[in-house]
Amino acid sequence: MKIAVMLGGISTERNISLLSGRAAVFALRELGHEVVAIDPMRGAAEPLTDQELHEASAREVTMQELDAFNSRRLLECVTSTHLDGVDVVFNLLHGRYGEDGYMQSLLDLRGIPYTGSTMLASATAMDKGLSKLLFQSAGIPTAPWVSVTHDQFDDDGLFESLMREIPGPLVVKPNDQGSTVGMTILHEPDLDALEAAIRLAGAFTSSVMIEAYVPGRELTVAVLGNEALPVIEIVPKDGYYDFENKYVKGKTEYHCPADISDVIDEHVRNLAVAAHGILGCRAYSRVDFRLTPEGMPFCLEVNTIPGFTATSLVPMAARAAGMEFPELCMEIVRLSGVDVSAA
């Protein structure tokens, strides 16, 4: 098959996407496929070379870099000749313009099959507030929350009532970002700290979510097709599971399968499949939870294009279920509706 791996892009998660895409490029080539690495940030420019892939790193993207990105290049990329004759796009664009339905809609218009969720499901899952409304409708427990927009950022009265409505520690985060970008945990919130956290999150989005902090353990469940893979517990050595603890080797321990009772394991996996389904996700996703000391799971969000290096959480769970990384890549292609029988 001729496969174009889309990676990089123009979001805050650009560099993580380069690492995810690099892993998929080499895994798919290992299986004998013709694979090109397409970075839509470059528009119609040539695909990435292997040397450029090897130079990718997990450093955070600066605001100056984000401001310099041009979304028009996405259109130039999708209409370029580099996608001529491609059997499928393996989409590993994390975050804005890749995971939120924009790239999916462009590929739909050109008639090119792609991996993962469709435009509508991608956009729905990227909107944390909308996702939580759907979780509630399906009986999936999720923490209480409210959302505020830029025109409310100076409303002290609103923030004071918010702290009364959701007493205790708070999580403040952009409504449509990933990798904990712009997120703050306020263990003892006051008005000044809340305003500062909202402004930080607001630098990345037009809508900020303020959510009750759920104490306990961090769990995540990969869903492949309609099946939940083994539950993983995430244990940062210091602080919470922020950008540094996610992507700096040795900062976090992972337990797969998680050391939880069979009853909780089954319950969390069932909730993951339900969350995946209520959002209309396709092929695969990763569903994040907090588990209280009393054993009550709360669904945080669904990631439709989660981290995908060979050591990321979805491949880790697949390996625990007996599936190696190259096989996982092709299973995602198959579950995305692409005929792989002749591959």
Listing DSSP states for 79-122 in one string gives TSGGGTT-SEEEE---STTTTSSHHHHHHHHHT--BSS--HHHH
Nearest to 37 by CA among 316, 258, 50: 50
Mean pLDDT (the chain) is 92
Question: What pLDDT does residue 75 have?
Answer: 95
Query: Is the peptide bond prior to 257 cis by the omega test (within 30 degrees of 0)?
Result: yes
pLDDT of res. 180: 73
CATH class of segment(s) 2-115: alpha beta
Got the DSSP string for 21-41? HHHHHHHHHHTT-EEEEE-GG
Q: What is the DSSP letter of 47?
A: P
Show contacts of 232-236: CB within 8 Å, 24+ apart.
232/256, 232/257, 232/258, 232/313, 232/316, 232/317, 233/258, 233/259, 233/260, 234/313
What residue spans of the chain are helical by DSSP H? 14-30, 50-54, 63-68, 72-78, 102-110, 119-126, 128-137, 156-165, 191-202, 243-247, 262-278, 313-320, 325-335
| pLDDT the model gives residue 179 | 56
d(CA 19, CA 37): 11
> Which pLDDT score, from 0 to 100, does residue 238 have?
66
Which residues have a Cβ under 8 Å from the Cβ of 48 and sit 6 or more positions away? 7, 8, 37, 38, 39
Burial call 279-307: b when 16+ CB within 10 Å, e when fewer: bebbbbbbbbbbbeeeeebbbbbbbbbbb
Cβ–Cβ under 8 Å, residues 191 and 175: no
Candidate CATH numbers 3.40.50.2300, 3.40.1000.10, 3.40.50.880, 3.30.1490.20; the one for domain 145-212: 3.30.1490.20
pLDDT of residue 246: 55
What confidence score (pLDDT) does residue 287 get? Answer: 98
pLDDT of residue 106: 97
Q: Where in the chain is the domain with CATH 3.30.1490.20?
A: 145-212
Q: Tell me, what's the pLDDT at 241?
A: 57
Active-site amino acid positions: 13, 179, 247, 286, 288, 301, 303, 307
- The single-letter code of the amino acid at 338 is V
pTM: 0.92
**C-beta separation of 166 from 221 below 8 A:** no
Which pLDDT value is given to residue 307? 92
> Can you list the residues of the chain whose pLDDT is less than 50?
none
- CATH tag, 126-141+215-304: 3.30.470.20
Give me the pLDDT at residue 176, please: 87
Q: Other CB atoms closer than 10 Å to residue 230's CB: what's the count?
A: 17
Q: Which neighbouring-strand residues pair with 5?
A: 37, 90
